[in-house]
């Protein structure tokens, strides 16, 4: 029996099954589409978050004040100690560190002449433009002032500048932030968003000025950008040793970018597994449908099976024919399911929404292999049942 004979058998059989085959294909195709789509969405989310967290570089460590400690059963004590600008300067002296940025942020009223708006105000130092890869559209970034005598200078994000000053150049003009008067020294180019927050709607001022503005005694975080020839573990260990020496105890928390991405990856893995599980339920339903239609086919085509056996078709050949039919049914369903995902992906891209991007040739191949495996499992039992019948028994039952 040649491959051509098997192909002819399968195509003829599927044509004569009509509506029943269409329903089975539809059910299984929806299951395949659900699994592929949920997996692709999870992969797209992973790539999006990875891109967001690495747009400022991949060698980043964040230090925040306070460390959570546990005492006894269920007893939690949160110890908060100030993290200062001086700590940031000391960390910047480490050989492995390129830049440090002491950060403090809040929301304040920003007023220019008759116009005003409430927006995010971020306290940073003169290294923030290099560390965060900020580009200037007009003027310059904050100067490297003495931390004890900072000047009231401000740098505007692109959106804030256009909202308050339109097309005019605001550099050199004065602006009021939370009741304090600042001179504008620069305007940034558009930067976009970071984890859903627009970096263009921010106003940047010196860290110590921001601490006075928001009545805080310590910075909220110190962002550390280290050199590429050092590992995050080496740098974190050096920072920990330095701060313990300065503070007398470990009253701070160090988080590396690897830690953040690992935590996010764990969360996204759960999301992908949960989504894939929902799709697997649909696949199981589809597989049951294929097994059902094969069982019905065997019972309805008992005479055809008996005739095949009578003209010399062996049990093995009969199993091959029937299993090939089930595999073809499942693979066709997989192709249709994958096509559904591609149509959805194309529609979202045309609408400007890159929600699904993790679909490629390898996913298509895995889809076909999985579909064929499900078809094999669904068709093997009915095929073996048909192969056990003798020609005389099959023809007599018919």
Mean pLDDT for 29-50 is 74
pLDDT at residue 232 tops 50: yes
What pLDDT score was predicted for residue 30? 79
Pairwise CA distance, residues 331 & 325, whole Å: 10
Out of 32-41, 296-305, 340-349, pick the least confident: 296-305
Q: How far apart, in Å, are the Cα atoms of 6 and each of 9, 238, 382?
A: 5, 69, 17
What pLDDT score was predicted for residue 396? 55
pLDDT at residue 106 tops 80: yes
Percent of the chain with pLDDT over 70: 74
Averaged confidence pLDDT in the chain? 79
Same-domain status, 391 and 267: yes
DSSP reduced 3-state for 4: helix
255 domain residue, yes or no:
no
Mean pLDDT for 306-313 is 69
Same-domain status, 191 and 106: yes
The residue out of 195, 222, 249 marking a domain boundary is: 222
Asked if residues 238 and 96 have their Cβ atoms less than 8 Å apart, the reply is yes
Same-domain status, 25 and 103: no
Pairwise CA distance, residues 284 & 102, whole Å: 54
Instruction: Look at the chain and count its residues.
Output: 398
Domain count within the chain: 2
144 domain residue, yes or no:
yes
DSSP reduced 3-state for 384: helix
164 domain residue, yes or no:
yes
- Cα 296 to chain centroid, rounded: 44
81 domain residue, yes or no:
no
Asked if residues 251 and 66 have their Cβ atoms less than 8 Å apart, the reply is yes
87 domain residue, yes or no:
no
Higher-confidence position of 47 and 76: 47
pLDDT at residue 70 tops 50: no
What pLDDT score was predicted for residue 188? 93
What pLDDT score was predicted for residue 341? 83
Q: Which residues contact 338 (CB under 8 A, 6 or more apart)?
A: 32, 33, 36, 363, 364, 367
- The torsion angles phi and psi of 218, rounded to 5 degrees, stand at -145, 165
pLDDT at residue 77 tops 70: no
Same-domain status, 116 and 218: yes
Same-domain status, 280 and 386: yes
Q: Closest Cα partner for 153 from 178, 132, 189, 177?
A: 177
The residue out of 222, 254, 285 marking a domain boundary is: 222
The residue out of 190, 222, 254 marking a domain boundary is: 222
252 domain residue, yes or no:
no
Q: How far apart, in Å, are the Cα atoms of 275 and each of 32, 35, 42, 201, 363?
A: 12, 7, 8, 35, 16
Same-domain status, 103 and 190: yes
| pLDDT tens digit sequence for 273-287 | 776 676 677 667 766
What pLDDT score was predicted for residue 79? 46
Same-domain status, 36 and 133: no
Pairwise CA distance, residues 208 & 296, whole Å: 79
| pLDDT tens digit sequence for 310-366 | 677 777 777 787 788 778 888 888 888 888 888 888 887 776 666 566 566 676 777
DSSP reduced 3-state for 20: helix
Pairwise CA distance, residues 342 & 36, whole Å: 10
309 domain residue, yes or no:
yes
pLDDT at residue 398 tops 60: no
Q: By CB neighbour count within 10 A (0-12 exposed, 13-18 middle, 19+ buried), where does 82 fall?
A: middle
pLDDT at residue 40 tops 60: yes
Same-domain status, 214 and 275: no
| pLDDT tens digit sequence for 175-223 | 999 889 999 999 999 887 765 577 889 999 999 999 999 998 889 999 9
Same-domain status, 285 and 198: no
Same-domain status, 281 and 388: yes
pLDDT at residue 86 tops 50: yes
Pairwise CA distance, residues 46 & 265, whole Å: 7
Same-domain status, 27 and 123: no
pLDDT interval class at 75 (50, 70, 90): very low
pLDDT at residue 74 tops 50: no
pLDDT interval class at 309 (50, 70, 90): low
Pairwise CA distance, residues 188 & 170, whole Å: 12
DSSP reduced 3-state for 181: strand
Handedness of CA 246, 249, 255, 258 (dihedral sign): positive
Q: Which residues contact 189 (CB under 8 A, 6 or more apart)?
A: 134, 135, 136, 137, 158
Q: State the CB neighbour count (10 A cutoff) for residue 197.
A: 9
Q: Specify which of 6-20, 23-37, 41-55, 220-234 reaches the highest per-range mean pLDDT.
A: 220-234
Q: Closest Cα partner for 173 from 138, 218, 136?
A: 138
Same-domain status, 118 and 172: yes
| pLDDT tens digit sequence for 135-183 | 999 999 999 877 778 899 999 999 999 999 988 899 999 999 988 999 9
pLDDT at residue 390 tops 70: no
352 domain residue, yes or no:
yes
What pLDDT score was predicted for residue 125? 93
Q: How far apart, in Å, are the Cα atoms of 156 and each of 79, 163, 171?
A: 35, 11, 9
Domain around 171: 98-222
Mean pLDDT for 101-119 is 91
């Amino acid at each position: 029996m040649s491959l051509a004979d098997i192909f002819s058998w399968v195509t003829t059989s599927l044509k004569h099954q009509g509506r029943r085959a269409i329903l089975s294909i539809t059910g299984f195709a929806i299951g395949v589409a659900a699994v592929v789509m949920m997996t692709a969405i999870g992969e797209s989310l992973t790539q999006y978050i990875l891109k967001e967290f690495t747009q400022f570089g991949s060698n980043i460590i964040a230090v925040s004040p306070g460390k959570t400690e546990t005492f006894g059963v269920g007893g939690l004590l949160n110890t908060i100690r100030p993290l200062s600008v001086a700590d940031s300067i000391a960390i910047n002296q480490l050989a492995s560190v390129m830049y440090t940025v002491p950060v403090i942020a809040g929301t304040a009223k920003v007023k220019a002449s008759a116009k005003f708006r409430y927006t995010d105000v971020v306290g940073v130092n003169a290294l923030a433009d290099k560390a965060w890869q900020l580009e200037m559209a007009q003027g310059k970034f904050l100067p490297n002032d003495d931390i004890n005598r900072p000047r009231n200078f401000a740098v505007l994000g692109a959106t804030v500048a256009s909202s308050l000053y339109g097309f005019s150049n605001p550099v050199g003009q004065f602006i009021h932030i939370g009741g304090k008067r600042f001179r504008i020294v620069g305007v940034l180019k558009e930067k976009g968003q970071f984890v859903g927050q627009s970096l263009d709607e921010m106003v940047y001022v010196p860290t110590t000025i921001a601490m006075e503005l928001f009545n805080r005694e310590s910075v909220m975080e110190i962002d550390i950008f280290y050199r590429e020839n050092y590992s995050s573990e080496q740098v974190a260990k050096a920072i920990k040793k330095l701060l313990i020496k300065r503070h007398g105890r470990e009253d701070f928390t160090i988080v590396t970018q690897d830690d953040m991405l690992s935590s996010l990856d764990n969360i996204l893995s759960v999301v992908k597994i949960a989504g894939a599980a929902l799709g697997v339920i649909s696949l199981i339903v589809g597989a049951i449908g294929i097994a059902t239609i094969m069982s019905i086919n065997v019972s309805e085509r008992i005479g055809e099976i008996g005739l095949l056996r009578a003209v010399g078709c062996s049990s093995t050949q009969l199993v091959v024919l029937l299993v090939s039919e089930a595999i073809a049914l499942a693979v066709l369903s997989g192709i249709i399911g994958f096509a559904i995902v591609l149509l959805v992906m194309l529609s979202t891209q045309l609408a400007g929404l890159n929600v699904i991007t993790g679909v490629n040739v390898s996913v298509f191949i895995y889809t076909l292999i999985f579909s064929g495996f499900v078809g094999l499992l669904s068709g093997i039992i009915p095929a073996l049942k048909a192969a056990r019948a003798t020609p005389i028994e099959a023809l007599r039952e018919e």
